[in-house]
Amino acid sequence: MKRCVFIQAHVCIEHRSEICICSFRLMRKLRGLVRQFPVNYSLNTRASKMEVMADDYETETQDILKPLVFRLHENAPAIVREVLLERGWTEFDQKEQDDTDWNLYWRNSPFRMTDHHSIKPWQRLNHYPEAVRITRKDYLARNLKRMKGAYGSALYEFSPVAFIMPNDYVKFIAEYSKERQSVGRRPSYWICKPVDLSRGRGILIFQDIKDLVYDCTVIVQKYISNPLLISGYKLDLRLYVCVTSFCPLTIYTYEEGLVRFATEKFDLGSLDNVYAHLTNTSINKYGASYKKYKEGIGCGCKWTFSKFRSYLRIFGVDDLLLWQKINNIVILTLLAVTPLPVASNCFELFGFDILIDDKFKPWLLEVNYNPALCLDCSIDDTVKRRLLHDIVELLNYKEIDTLRQNEMAGSKAVRRRVPWRTAGPSTPEEAPGLLTCRKVATSNSASPVQPAPKAARGSIHKVASLTKKTVRAHPRKTLTSQLREKMNRPKTSSQAKNEDKNKLPAVHSPCSSAQLNHWLPTPDFRNCKISTHPYFLSDKDQRPIRRVGDFVLIFPFNEAALQASRDGTDVKSIIKEINKLVSKQLLSKQQNTKKRVGYLTSV
């Protein structure tokens, strides 16, 4: 069928010098829009008003790959924008674009439940509802205490004993007095932290109760007074953990991360010296020694995990065992808040603060909501930039997600407002997880394609205004960069037809590197059926993708754990599996004990 239409594309270009830079991309973009509208075209980039002649009505809409679109709430970290622009994404323009015309919404505060309910298959939100259950210090303490009661303190002894004040005042006094009265026992040190403050604000360390003062809800926690020291400096680990789903529970830890040092030597004789006792960068960067060269540490106050691992290996420390213990802490902590309300297409990036003591026992200090993504030094830049790139990869956007405008147009009459279920048979009506290519292709061909002109104008405007930034960047070969390349390369319809629907880049396939096998003791997901198609499952085997960049799947870690996390989380069975895992780890530790030499404590 042939017909003629006219389209007027109003191109907003503020600076004439940008016209040359963007004209090529603009042409390509318009070519894409023209195919989408669908028309033939003649373009004159020197004019701000373009007339496009319509012709070929049979152009295949699947060929059109628009840039992915991100939406940032105010105060979202600048690096998120930078990374997404590097990857060829464009920024959502509220005035120009339809409300649902975006792929990723990033904000520092929780989303409203209506945001969760109206989520579209092509969208992701960076917060899960009620994740705050483990990120507020008092909630975390309460949840871990409950787990200790239910599953035994042996498994949950990774968190220092804690009291929430003023509620637990009597209990605290009882514990404090008991310690004081026991002969030959050195009284503990305590740390008092406001429950809803971060970055080391309002923290107090004390030994004598007369020094304890507070004027808000605080948590009083046993102070780990024998931390691992490097050259006399205290350190802790900022571990990045990404939960791509709470139901079924799916947890990734990031192999790279930050070691954060105090900038003055540890000294129990000066409890009020924050530069010696707190490892927050937000505090230490203002210390007198921050910029100075510190023996054994260097300048600044950060190392990468890679450097830390090499350091441990030099001293014969089994870093693998340490990391296994840390992974167990992460899983057990997240189990304490599972299940959270079911919500689809969200993810949560947590910052776990782990302190290691001089016996190499890792302790969980707290879990951070919105771990800091500011760039204080070059190490931050290296770790956090890559982390964000890998998060975007983990979000597993598919080519189909770039077709959101077509889908929006097609689905306007039948708006989807269904959080996908995790159990039961999957029907098109009740499974608004990611659409398969086939589904969208069908919906496109079944309904006349009438994308909102408003949205189209917005896209053109964005491409024009962002081209400058985008051409400067040198993105790595990632799914989104490949999508972008593809978008810029017109395809023939026969090419499109011949493409395999599972043509994801290698990075999305499960990887079985030797390193990964260390992290996954029994990585076997072959015999499990999952009825829905959440974004974090691989197309190939419908199992959680085992590795994406430096993200490594730590839960589910075997078939039994996978089964127990589906259809409502069976915490009891999971704990049983973890107990088995811990026993195995202990056994291998005993076997290796003779080989290891604990030099590090004396360093």
Rule CB under 6 A: which residues touch ligand ADP? Answer: 160, 191, 193, 197-201, 203, 221, 223-224, 236, 278-280, 353, 355, 365-366
Q: Which residue lies nearer to ligand ADP by CB, 380 or 390?
A: 380
Rounded CA-CA distance 394/388 in Å is 10
Q: Which residue lies nearer to ligand ADP by CB, 9 or 355?
A: 355
Rounded CA-CA distance 209/295 in Å is 36
DSSP string, 502-566: T---GGGS----HHHHHH-SS---TT----S--TTB-TTTSSB-SEETTEEEEES-SHHHHHHHS
Residue recorded with tokens 């968190």: 159
Q: Which residue lies nearer to ligand ADP by CB, 93 or 138?
A: 138
Minimum gap (Å) between residue 159 Cβ and ligand ADP: 9
- The answer to whether 229 and 276 are in contact (CB under 8 A) is no
Rounded CA-CA distance 359/372 in Å is 29
Q: Which residue lies nearer to ligand ADP by CB, 192 or 249?
A: 192
Minimum gap (Å) between residue 376 Cβ and ligand ADP: 15
Give the tokens for residue 50: 């373009």
For the beta carbon of residue 377, count every other beta carbon within 10 angstroms: 15
Minimum gap (Å) between residue 291 Cβ and ligand ADP: 20
75-88 CB burial, b ≥16 within 10 A, e <16: ebbebbbebbbbbb
Minimum gap (Å) between residue 277 Cβ and ligand ADP: 6
Minimum gap (Å) between residue 306 Cβ and ligand ADP: 21
Give the tokens for residue 442: 């069908």
Rounded CA-CA distance 166/172 in Å is 10
Q: Which residue lies nearer to ligand ADP by CB, 278 or 571?
A: 278
E strands in 315-453: 348-356, 362-369
Q: Which residue lies nearer to ligand ADP by CB, 191 or 548?
A: 191
Residue 513, burial from CB neighbour count under 10 angstroms (0-12, 13-18, 19+): exposed
For the beta carbon of residue 74, count every other beta carbon within 10 angstroms: 7
Rounded CA-CA distance 31/44 in Å is 12
Q: Cis omega (within 30 of 0) on the bond before 523?
A: no
Rounded CA-CA distance 286/304 in Å is 21
Residues in the chain: 603
157-192 CB burial, b ≥16 within 10 A, e <16: ebbbbbbbbeebeeebeebbeeeeeeeeeeebbbbb
Minimum gap (Å) between residue 202 Cβ and ligand ADP: 8
Q: Which residue lies nearer to ligand ADP by CB, 221 or 478?
A: 221
Q: Which residue lies nearer to ligand ADP by CB, 123 or 159?
A: 159
Q: Which residue lies nearer to ligand ADP by CB, 226 or 493?
A: 226
Q: In whole angstroms, how far apart are CA 420 and each of 341, 346, 414, 423?
A: 12, 12, 16, 9
For the beta carbon of residue 60, count every other beta carbon within 10 angstroms: 17
Q: Which residue lies nearer to ligand ADP by CB, 279 or 327?
A: 279
Rounded CA-CA distance 240/550 in Å is 10
Minimum gap (Å) between residue 204 Cβ and ligand ADP: 11
**Phi, psi angle pair for 537, to nearest 5°:** -95, 145
DSSP string, 190-201: EEEEETT--TTT
Q: In whole angstroms, how far apart are CA 158 and each of 224, 420, 574?
A: 11, 35, 18
Q: Which residue lies nearer to ligand ADP by CB, 7 or 377?
A: 377
Q: Which residue lies nearer to ligand ADP by CB, 239 or 463?
A: 239
DSSP string, 332-362: HHHHTTPSPPP-SSB-EEEEEEEEEBTTS-E
Rounded CA-CA distance 438/496 in Å is 12
Minimum gap (Å) between residue 197 Cβ and ligand ADP: 6
- The answer to whether 451 and 516 are in contact (CB under 8 A) is no
Q: Which residue lies nearer to ligand ADP by CB, 353 or 390?
A: 353
Q: Which residue lies nearer to ligand ADP by CB, 274 or 331?
A: 274
Closest CA to 256 of 368, 361, 365, 386: 386
Minimum gap (Å) between residue 9 Cβ and ligand ADP: 50
Q: Which residue lies nearer to ligand ADP by CB, 243 or 274?
A: 274
SS3 category, 167: coil
